[in-house]
Amino acid sequence: MKQTHVVLIHGACFHMSSWDGWAEKFTSHGFAARIPSWPGESATAAQVRADPGPLDSLGLRALTTHYERIVRSYDNPPVLVGHSVGGLIAQQLLGVGLGRAAVALAPLPINGIPLGDTRSPRAWQQYSGLLLRAQFRNAVANAVDDEEAERLFEQYAVPIPVQLLSDLGLGPTATGPARTVVNTANPERGPLLLISGQEDRMVPDAVTRSVYKLYGDSPAVTDLKQFADRGHSLAFDSGWRSVADYVLTWLTTNGIAAVTA
């Protein structure tokens, strides 16, 4: 018997520990879950905030290559679960045939779809370091109360690498088109689940719905789940369990078991 591996890919504003609850939950359901750190990422969010320098030069290409190596290291393709920038990377890898399936939570948009509507915060356009507490509260943790927002900031908030922000076509240092191309037409790829929070201000629900439409011509399974009253923190705030439970059910529905013969 072989366990199905799950690789959890975190977002740019958040520490890898934002996936700790998911790793425990997947493990309790028989999966082999892994939360790879980014190159140069310290063990805690506080340590990254104190010394973000090792991450400053990390760009999207290097980050995607980092996860590609990890995925290729498995004898059997793992399930990819990504949040925000991690959701973008999960789609890129699945699009080239890596990974058994992918789940993208509030993923940054692909293939030229813009973030900008009036609900998308200035943080993406102006940001070149750590989100201020007020920005985090307004842009990421807007769907929870003040006390929880403060706790989430302390536990998980980290600066976005400057090079990554530029590669995404965001922020004051952006110099060219976003490197966010995904092969949405690959008929051989595994199932994909896109998840949005309908109160998300970082990646609005309308953006994820636009991404979902890009997959319309592919015969491969593509599903969309919208969570009402949820913001960009839906992967790690107090409501994360309902999202994880949905993902586990979706995997079962698509024939992906925790243990295979």
CA-wise closest residue to 101 among 125, 120, 77:
77
Q: Could you tell me whether strands 259-260 and 2-3 are parallel, antiparallel, or unpaired per DSSP bridges?
A: antiparallel
145 is written with which tokens? Answer: 């109360």
Q: What is the mean pLDDT of each run of 10 residues along the chain (261 residues)?
A: 95 96 98 97 94 89 96 96 97 96 96 67 54 88 97 95 84 62 95 98 94 95 98 98 98 95 73
pLDDT value, residue 128: 52
Q: Check residue 169 and give its pLDDT.
A: 79
| pLDDT the model gives residue 35 | 98
This model's pTM is above 0.75 = yes
Rounded distance between C-alpha atoms, residue 80 and residue 94, angstroms: 8
Kindly report, residue by residue over 235-251, the tens digit of the pLDDT: 999 999 999 999 999 99
Beta strands 32-34 and 2-3, pairing class: unpaired
Place of tokens 């991404």: 211
Instruction: Give me the architecture of the 2-260 domain, per CATH.
Output: 3-Layer(aba) Sandwich (3.40)
User: Taking the CB of residue 184, how many other CB atoms lie within 10 A of it?
Assistant: 21
Contacts from 206-209 at CB under 8 Å and sequence distance 24+? 206/117, 207/109, 207/113, 207/114, 207/115, 207/117, 208/106, 208/107, 208/109
